Amino acid sequence: MLKYTEDHEWLRAEGDEIVVGITAHASEQLGDVVFIELPEEGREVSAGDEVVVIESVKAASDIAAPVAGVITAVNSALADAPGGVNDDPLAAWFFRIKPADGTSLDGFMDDAAYQALIG
Amino acid sequence: MTDDSRRTGLYDLHVALGARMVPFAGWAMPVQYPTGVMAEHLHTRARAGLFDVSHMGQVLVTPQGGDMAQAALALESLIPADVLGLPQGRQRYGLFTNDQGGIGDDLMFANRGDHFLLVVNAACADKDIAHLQTLEGVTVTPVTDRGLLALQGPQAAGVLARLVPATADMRFMDSQIHVWDGVELWMSRSGYTGEDGFEISVPAADLRRFAQALLDQPEVAPIGLGARDSLRLEAGMPLYGHDMDATVTPAQAALGWSIPKVRRSGGARAGGFPGADAILAELAEGPASVRRGLRPEGRAPIREGVAIFADAEGGEPVGHVSSGGFGPSVNGPVAMACLPTGLPDGATVHAELRGKRIPVAITPLPFITPSYKR
């Protein structure tokens, strides 16, 4: 089940990692994505660190690490074809992170709470 | 959307078409429609895009004594262009200058036989009109009962010829009045995209009906301000308030071409406009810096305000990006910046983006090949 951050990221727990992308709402707000800069694999990050840069035709924005941990994988295919974020935001994952403090996503919004946020 | 934004006659149509409305120069304007900036941009380059530019200022300048030459000379006291030599039915591009030699606004002006029609930027319209009202011997009439459309793209002419057959004979920068279904259209063959196209002033009462008639044509899609900006950027056209303003001179903005010989030193009507001494001296000697095209390496856009450095490390900025973004037709980032003169085309400078310096090639403007119908 997906969880959501207030920064319009979706989070999915897989094994001992969390997969991170952005929501359809975020992708619509950004407009056509033309450039994505991904973090280096193995980078240790704190919660809130800006780890991804997304440039759309309109503006630059960031994706923050939802939790502290280590970046274990990045979706370099997405960096080569950034329009995938607009085409299918739920399939367009950006990175996987191995949390420093367990994979519980209890503190994040569920679908109902997120839908209420973007209402 | 703030409630005090002015609405064009097409506001309801934009909303019905699903536009995202944003405040722009005091107006509520469509920045994009559901298809998005990229698709709208590419549609305009391939087919025909319809733009609502009703926020722009339309102004009539009429000689009180009926003598157009006298009105032309009055306009020449504010605009360093050849207004006197502009034939009836033709339009030119020009600049309002200020006493410091900077640019007050840029505009189009057309000779319509017994008056001039000016089109100025929305954000500058009030200031420009006040400026024009200082002229003696002319009546200045802001046009408040008409909207303005632009139909741009390689199929624009075919579309318009279907609705208004007489437009087929218009050439680039012709300005003519034609009638569609009893409605008087003020048309010029011009635009702000680098494509062939038309700008069309329509009575407010008929604006929506005419816009809908254009949208009903299979080639035509509505285009928002987002794509208007990327189209003009690829076409190398400066935007007032960004690539030029009251502190940027015509030579620095690479707009010296709009000041003809007759208004330059030694010309028959040299000078006689605000800032003439400084502007003409700089045109003769060459400016210390000039607006250039930039193509960054990679795909990351460099946007307005990004610092440009001569070298990959150290030093002070040699300029800042005045307009920049992603060029959908170029399929890469494009930008403009005022840089020290003497850097050849193809030279590499560096843009500082998120703490890193990216190589940027100085590139001739425009980034695309314009297709005007000359």
CATH number, domain at B190?
3.30.1360.120
pLDDT for position B188: 98
Which domain does A22 fall in, by range?
A: 3-100
Among residues B200, B216, B234, the one where a domain terminates is B234
CATH number reported for the structural domain that contains residue B343 in this entry? 2.40.30.110
Q: Nearest Cα to B125, choosing from B59, B75, B27?
A: B59
CB pairs below 8 Å between A and B: how many?
A: 45
Residue A103 has pLDDT above 80, yes or no: no
Interchain proximity B299–A82, CB inside 8 Å? yes
**Average predicted confidence (pLDDT) for chain A:** 95
In a domain? residue B171: yes
Q: What is the ipTM of this complex?
A: 0.86
State pLDDT tens for residues B217-250: 999 999 999 999 999 999 999 999 999 999 999 9
How many structural domains compose chain A? 1
State pLDDT tens for residues B125-138: 999 999 999 999 99
Q: Nearest Cα to B149, choosing from B208, B234, B237?
A: B208
Question: What is the mean pLDDT of the segment spanning B294-305?
Answer: 96
Chain B interface, best mutation among A58, A85, A87, by max B CB count within 10 A: A58
pLDDT for position A58: 87
In a domain? residue B91: no
Count Cα neighbours of B70 within 13 Å in the Cβ-side half-sphere.
Answer: 12
Q: Nearest Cα to B140, choosing from B57, B246, B80, B52?
A: B57
State pLDDT tens for residues B59-69: 999 999 999 99
In a domain? residue A87: yes
In chain B, the percentage of residues whose pLDDT exceeds 70 is 99
Per the structure block, which two tokens stand in for B91? 């339009």
In chain B, the percentage of residues whose pLDDT exceeds 90 is 98
Of the candidates B32, B298, B354, the beta carbon closest to that of A31 is on: B32
Interchain proximity B37–A37, CB inside 8 Å? no
Which domain does B307 fall in, by range?
A: 288-374
Beta-carbon count within 10 A of B361 CB? 14
Interchain proximity A37–B300, CB inside 8 Å? yes
Residues B316 and B176 in one domain: no
Question: What is the mean pLDDT of the segment spanning B337-351?
Answer: 97
What Cα–Cα distance (Å) separates residue A52 from each residue in A39, A114, B50, B78, B354? 6, 21, 36, 50, 12
In a domain? residue A113: no
| Cβ-based contacts of A58 with chain B (< 8 Å) | 37, 226
What Cα–Cα distance (Å) separates residue B69 from each residue in A116, B19, B274? 65, 45, 20
The residues on A that touch B, with CB distances below 8 Å, are 31-32, 34-35, 37, 53, 55, 57-60, 82, 86
Say if CB B121 and CB B59 are below 8 A apart.
no
Higher pLDDT, B370 or B75: B75
pLDDT for position B3: 66
Residue B106 has pLDDT above 90, yes or no: yes
**Average predicted confidence (pLDDT) for chain B:** 97
| Cβ-based contacts of B33 with chain A (< 8 Å) | none
Residue B2 has pLDDT above 60, yes or no: no
In a domain? residue A46: yes
In a domain? residue B112: no
In a domain? residue B59: no
